[in-house]
Amino acid sequence: MRKLTGDKLNVLIAEDDMQQQQVILSQLERLGNINVKGIASNSQELINLATEWKDELDALILDVELGGGRTGLDTYARFTFRGIKIPAILVTGSKPEGADTYDLGIIDVVEKPYTIDRLQAAINKLSTHVNYEKFVLNGGFMIPVIDNNNIKQLYPSEVCCIETKKEIKHSIVWTAEDDFITLVPLKVYENYLDRQDFYRVSRSILVHLNRIKNVMHNQILFFDRSDTLEIPDDRIQDFMTAWKRFNDDKS
């Protein structure tokens, strides 16, 4: 569990040259606001990893030259046929025509050789785009999380549930990546999130129905989390009724 910190972008690097991989990793480490989820060394690896992690990745850092019989740009263009939509920074030795990148989701094109400042500018542009897309996706709605030192704004799509813990006398906001202590009472969250598909499972738990992957017996399984949430025995029937109604309304 952590206090509030700045967000990091989860990125996949697509680069076939091992030396260039290390250069990019070193530069991204210096920037500090990037979490490298993995590295694809050829076109097939890029397709496989992007498909596997499509709901976890914020962006790609994509080299034009990739092995596997296709360029990085050609491979990226095929993402739409697999239902994958991930913005990208294109790294290249020769800048392609704007028409080749505009409709694909390329946010910036960085020409080799580049400086750390140029890469930082591209990352900043990418971060602005990702945050804007999340803001639009969530209808401009944000969930405040407050501790003694900071105020953080989370997108509803990031939050799995909010739980009150008597032993720490505060609420805990569960997300896919971490848990945050907040001074905001659960009752305040319940009223605030009344129209955002959150459901009061018990006196101490407010769950986001959109983040539920499955319900097995009395256990709630969330997307992108390995731990589960237990439904109190006396609330199982009420919850399952609400869960069924929620899914019926979506279909």
Quick one: 68 exposed, middle or buried, by C-beta within 10 A (0-12, 13-18, 19+)? middle
CATH pick for 9-138 out of 3.40.718.10, 3.40.1180.10, 3.40.50.2300, 3.40.50.300:
3.40.50.2300
- Region 20-30: mean pLDDT is 89
Specify the range with the lowest mean pLDDT, choosing from 29-38, 46-55, 63-72, 74-83: 63-72
Residue 67: which pLDDT band, with cuts at 50, 70 and 90? low
Look at residue 102 and tell me whether its pLDDT is greater than 70: no
Q: Residue 54 pLDDT > 90, yes or no?
A: no
Pairing of strands 34-40, 9-14: parallel
Mean pLDDT of the chain: 86
Residue 100 confidence class, pLDDT cut points 50, 70, 90? low
Q: Between helices 116-137 and 18-31, what is the axis angle to 10°? A: 70
Question: According to the model, what pLDDT value does residue 101 have?
Answer: 59
Q: Which residues, other chains included, contact 180 with Cβ-Cβ below 8 Å and sequence gap of 6+?
A: 1, 2, 3, 4, 145, 147, 152, 154, 172, 173
Domain with CATH 2.40.50.1020 in the chain: 143-249
111 Cβ neighbours under 8 A, 6+ residues apart: 92, 93, 94, 95
Percentage, residues of the chain above pLDDT 90: 41
Residue spans in the chain of domains classed CATH 3.40.50.2300: 9-138
CB 155 within 8 A of CB 142: yes
| 8 has a pLDDT exceeding 90 | no
The CATH architecture annotation of domain 143-249 reads Beta Barrel (2.40)
**pTM to 2 decimals?**
0.62
Is residue 193 over pLDDT 80?
yes
